[in-house]
Amino acid sequence: MKKYLVGVFDSGIGGLTVLSECVRRLPDCDYLYFGDNAHAPYGSRSPEEITSLVRTALRVFDAYGADAAVLACNTATAVCARAMREEFSFPVVGTEPAVKPAAFRCAQALVLATPRTVRSERLSRLVGNFPQCSFTLFAPVGLAGAIERAEGQAGAIDLKEHLPRGKYDGVVLGCTHYIYLRKEISAFYRAPVFDGNRGTAERLAAVLGVAAAREEEAISSGAASGARFPEREEKEAFFAGETGIVGGGLGKTGTADHRAQAEEKTVAFCSETGMTDHRLQKTGTADHKRGSEGADPPAERREENGENKNKCFYKIGKNGKKSGEKWQKTSIFYLGSGKNLNKRLYEQMFANKQ
Ligand code: DGL
């Protein structure tokens, strides 16, 4: 089975929440995560600037032969998803505020998003499709930037300074950064919150499913595939950090040091039924290569306690022995445009989520 390479993009750490959902839904893909942390936040930038920054990131994905890109950023989606779809040959999946589910459950809903998203035609149109719910659109001043600086830690942020007062029976988190404060925002309004991450992951799955069907069709009809699938050598070139693309694309910050950061982590998953185990492990090229040649799964395993039964997890013995399942690796490589890619945060995101 083909292993897809998916590029996930955000202005900074917000898109990690989307990446996490994508990994949960599609554990058999490899991922590049690009947080444009040198230019975050995007929310008040001009559409031209945002378009140009997103283009730079998608060019990096393209250079690595990504099969699809996810704009894990509502702002980027609102501003330039359509233009990016025209410019790039791979599918570009966007992230949109979860207005639809809120419309079916609420009478008065608040939509929180960046200034650029709130002003976008796209959001007005979306909201206009659901007249049964009264939506209030609001752009919390400086909230995405504060979350980026606080590395997603709610304790460092005083919501009273950012959020409007009011009575709402639902709150839409229309910025992937806000998802870090989902519990706190829900408590602030005593109302359920909605985000679009699951929908984005489903859309990615559908898009890759279509690509797979086309590929099969092309193989069975003997035609050459038009889809761009990375060859093993290409991937290994990436894993080994042998290309200068990150540096070339992103200038000064994309140095060897940067590539070293990008190479550092992989997440291991296994099974036919879903994820059964994961552990972030530090790995270099050698480890990775070993991994791709069928290395054993990480020695430390976590026994599932049953809480995740409905997510297709299943038990793995504590003895650390292989139980016959096929181990697969989901590799995630983190790229950024600034120096402060926070490895600890990225690791925690997965440690907490799974
Ligand atoms: N996380 C992004 C979004 O979903 C952008 C936040 C920002 O950079 O202002 O809109």
User: Could you tell me the CATH number of the domain that includes residue 19?
Assistant: 3.40.50.1860
Whether omega for the bond prior to residue 192 falls within 30 degrees of 0, making it cis, is no
pLDDT on residue 37: 81
Q: What's the structural domain count of the chain?
A: 2
Among the candidates 129, 160, 195, a domain finishes at 195
Could you tell me if 322 and 296 lie in one domain? yes
Beta strand 170-173 with 108-112 is parallel
* Cα of 209 from ligand 1 centre, angstroms: 28
Residues 50, 155, single domain; the answer is: no
- C-beta 42 within 6 A of ligand 1: yes
Contacts of 245-254 spanning 24+ positions with Cβ under 8 A: 245/60, 245/63, 245/64, 246/60, 246/335, 249/56, 249/59, 249/60, 249/63, 250/56, 250/60, 250/335, 250/337, 253/38, 253/336, 253/337, 253/338, 253/339, 254/337
Residue 291 in contact with ligand 1 by CB distance below 6 A:
no
28/154 same-domain check = no
Domain span holding position 104: 99-195
Domain shared by 188 and 106, yes or no: yes
Q: Which helix (H) or strand (E) holds 99?
A: helix 99-105
Is 175 an annotated catalytic residue? yes
Same domain, 111 and 259: no
User: What does the pLDDT read at residue 84?
Assistant: 98
The sign one gets for the Cα dihedral 160, 164, 168, 174 is negative
103 and 47 within one domain: no
14 vs 213, residue with greater confidence: 14
User: Do 231 and 326 reside in the same domain of the chain?
Assistant: yes
Band of pLDDT at residue 60, cut at 50, 70 and 90: confident
The stretch 320-344 carries a mean pLDDT of: 55
208 and 66 share one domain: yes
For 133-191, the three-class secondary structure string (H helix, E strand, C coil) is CEEEEECCCCHHHHHHHCCCCHHHCCHHHCCCCCCCCEEEECCHHHHHHHHHHHHHHCC
Instruction: State what percent of residues in the chain have pLDDT above 70.
Output: 60
Q: Are residues 215 and 300 in the same domain?
A: yes
Is the minimum distance from the CB of 73 to ligand 1 under 6 angstroms? yes
Pair 278, 267: CB distance under 8 Å: yes
Catalytic residue among 29, 73, 80, 270: 73
What amino acid occupies position 88? Answer: F
Of 134, 168, 195, which residue sits at a domain end? Answer: 195
Checking if the pLDDT of 115 tops 60, the result is yes
Q: How many CB atoms lie within 10 A of CB 65?
A: 17
Domain boundary among 195, 228, 252: 195
Q: Which of 175, 179, 182, 197 should be mutated for ligand 1, with most atoms under 8 A from CB? A: 175
Q: Active-site residue 29, yes or no?
A: no
Q: Is the domain of 346 the same as that of 211?
A: yes
pLDDT at 205: 94
At 32 the pLDDT is 85
Which amino acid, residue 91? P
Q: Are 50 and 156 within one domain?
A: no
288 or 162, greater pLDDT: 162
The residue among 261, 346, 271 whose CA lies nearest residue 314 is 271
pLDDT at 319 over 60: no
Residues recorded for the chain: 354
Q: Are residues 262 and 349 in the same domain?
A: yes
Q: What are the helix (H) ranges across 13-46?
A: 16-25
pLDDT digits (tens, 9 = 90+) for 336-345: 776 555 555 5
pTM for this predicted structure: 0.71
